[in-house]
Chain A
Amino acid sequence: MTTSLPARFGVPQELEARCARLKAEREGKRLTILVCCGTGCLANGSAKVADAFARELHARGIDADVGLAFKRTGCHGFCQRGPLVVMMPDETFYQRVKPKDVPKIVEQTVVGGKVIATLLYKDPNSKQRITRYHEIPFYQKQTRVAMRNIGLVDPRDLRDSLARGAYLAVAKALGAMTPEQVIAEVDQSGLRGRGGAGFSTGRKWRSARAAPGERKFVICNGDEGDPGAFKDRSILEGDPHSVIEGMIIGAYAVGAHEGFVYVREEYPLAVENLGHALCDARAAGLLGRNILGTGFDFDVQISRGGGAFVCGESSALMKSIAGMVGEPRAKYIHATDRGLFDLPSVLNNVESWSDVPVIIEKGAAWFAAMGTAKSKGTKAFSLVGKVKNTGLVETPMGITLRELIFDIGGGILNDRPFKAVQTGGPSGGCVPAHLLDLPIDYEKLTEAGSMMGSGGMIVMDDRTCMVDVARYFTRFLWDESCGKCTPCREGLSQLQIVHDRICRGLGREEDLPLMERLGAVMETAALCALGKSANFPVKSTLQYFRDEYVAHVRDKRCPAGICKDLTIYRIIDEQCNGCGACLRVCPSKAITGKPKQLHALDQGLCISCGACFDVCTPMNAIAFDPRPHAAAVPPAAPGAAPARRNS
């Protein structure tokens, strides 16, 4: 028997009773089928899989079985393996599920209780098939706090979230704590911002509470403009109630009655699920006037983002919400005094908001028990790039880069050597191999010349040219900054021009100190944090991979074989067995040869893309050399840089 959506909860006790009942109801289920319908899995066709389940269960008449539940959930994080289907309570984990697999799953697993081996995940390292979710290396070292409910609840069903204890922290905070106590709890938990600089959330709230004024705002930053990052999207899509709940608690603490969630324009599903959740929460008396009968009023509205990376910066974001152009302003006066509409405002990241209810419910000490001395709790990371397992991960702070990349990530793709990991988003730095045992926390990453940022982790192997990487991020920031202040705008233009000429073999040795001097001024002189950190990719690669710059500049050689103007490829005759793998991947038909016979590479047609090199792993019969007399290509104007060559 399912309980319908509750009418308004009049008092906290009503909510508590309902949560307990819904929990028991769900725990009584014999089997719950969870089909991931996050953006990643949807892109892989999970909507059809979910439909197939609905059809199949209905056709067999088992959709009426009260012991069975079927849900469309948010993202499990392992999108690479999607569409994902998880069966609870056994945690049977099926991956790459296609609609045609569904009748078999229903027949054998749902009805027959048997596991289908071919749908299980096969660990690329041990080559073992793994049945249960938590036994998969990708999930083994994870601890989910901000993402505690994602993948387990249907984000369109408030009852699901209530069964997982949603809004109990609101009941506790509003019912039994003073705003000061709430702030003290959050402060003591050591929670620091999960979206940017890692500022203490408790301190931010305290300033906003102390700021004079009747009208204040709490805002959720869901802009997430970093390329490759998707933690905030996953939380908003998969568990919007946790964010709303955090915001209610924050609003109560600082004395705000209005909230905004700023969501990136490109996140339609997040907007949809969040909008749905807001309506449900309002109907249940969890938002709006007199929340849970405590007399506290608060409501939230959605604001759609302007699209540029810079709009995630706090002052730009607030301008954007107010309908102005999303350009940063000087923050000599803090947003907690003068933020949105010049009124006291608290801005926190999606993940920060999602952490708050757990802190209130389980207490500051519980949260602070995880992590390092100054970075407490857990952190979500988007693990992408040249690792075997890519996806969204949440672990306690203090996990080492090595554990993250090699244990959770399964190591480097094709077992190539690890070269660097770029952390913290586009203006983060590249951390080299000798720092792999670095425990991840705010200070350690900053000391290493990078940053925590939003938790982006882009893993790079030996086939990555670090000069090219620095050029890529410089270009990204040149495109995505606001262009308002001189050091950032002109500095990025020049950094880009210099990288361009270095990659073309036209660099000069003086270019390196020139960029260092320029970068140092950008750091101190730019208006906002984007410009102040825009040189980090360049600075860190110059620090850790200077020899690569020198090779480009002095020897006109790209050690990774990526910069086309500096690299030619050839076949090592003695090693070629004529397998034809290279011939098939060459986009410009530069390779010819009969099967099992020596192949030939036509230098005239070769565009130095290196595709042949990357596929010839069994024989290693392709080599690259510096291009003789690097062509004197004139440097391009800023903005005219060619598209990036390696990803």
Chain B
Amino acid sequence: MMTDTLKPRDGKDVESAVQGALAEGKSLEIAGHGSKRAIGRPAQTDLTLDLSALTGVTLYEPEELVLTARAGTPIAEIEALVASKGQQLAFEPMDYGALLGGWPGAGTVGGALAANLSGPRRIKAGAARDHFLGLTAVSGRGETFKSGGRVVKNVTGYDLCKLIAGSWGTLAAMTELTIKTLPGPETEATVAIVGLDDAAAAQAMIAAMGSSCDVSGAAHLPAAVAASLPLAHAAGGGRALTLLRLEGVAPSVAHRQAALVARVKPFGEVVTIAEASSVPLWQAVRDVLPFAASRAGAEAPLWRVSTAPTQGAALARMVTNATGASCLFDWAGGLIWISVPDARDDAAAPAVRRAVAACGGHATLIRAPAALRAAVEPFEPQDTVLAALTKRVKEGFDPKGVFNTGRMWAGV
């Protein structure tokens, strides 16, 4: 594998690397720590463009709510820095380490944005894309360009940050990013309902989200899933657990906790979980620990499905009835992690795609053996108009297909 990796030291190097690749007709795989490398179609590239040497926070002004960092800066380092000022990345970026069998805490800020990471707080605070203020990047034309700025409110020109967020390195190599930081909550608590089936849980979460309680996390762990998390097991005695998180200043959390308990009591037995257990429990939900590689199998197929919250339970039922899969619900039922028994040779793709077609939304095959990810489209197939538009966007930024081409769809 010698000489297969280019490790630029700065933005200028990145530009030279891309120009070099263009001149030699070579393709590049953009990587930070490579922690999410196993997601997507297995694409053939000639060289790896390793951005992990582009590190360092170049600006952090907590009172302006902004932070600028080079793309290879570890996300863990950034989270620690903002935490030292009582702030957080409100999009609560999940850590794919456990799911993909990597080590926890890996990943760069560039990777977090390229994958548009989010977490349970997505329902209240948005995803990475909602906190992405500015970028400098090198496109597949070997040109450095920038978009956005370092202020939290800006509509000058197209919002290319949004486009690059979630593009999985197929459009440009980011070299520097500016993101929004926000105050972290003073405290948190969780209200949990015990023993609900998926459909009842969906109703309870809808009721909670429709209240003024400002719920910042709403997840449902069916019994078998809850049983696999010691904290959830302790709270629910091995039964299903529907979790509702409250964050904020102490008097507010206390007040909302009382209101929320009253609101969800009609659904079943209610328990409350104090901060000390609530924090790690939500981290486990965020990182989908019940389906961790160490538990489910390093290559056991795992789907991530985004749908309307009211459709979650029905969609999950369609898939589980057909395949015996198990599910974890986040985002008030709108995000479903579906773990498929690993014996299957099609990752249950037909069942998942059928359910998504019936219920709306989209599904991504997050974990599966490379051969399966080549055989089954990991990203949701697009209709012809959207696929053509997507391809034209790709060609605008990367006409020669130097970057991660084929990772999302053939040619993209």
Partners in one complex: no
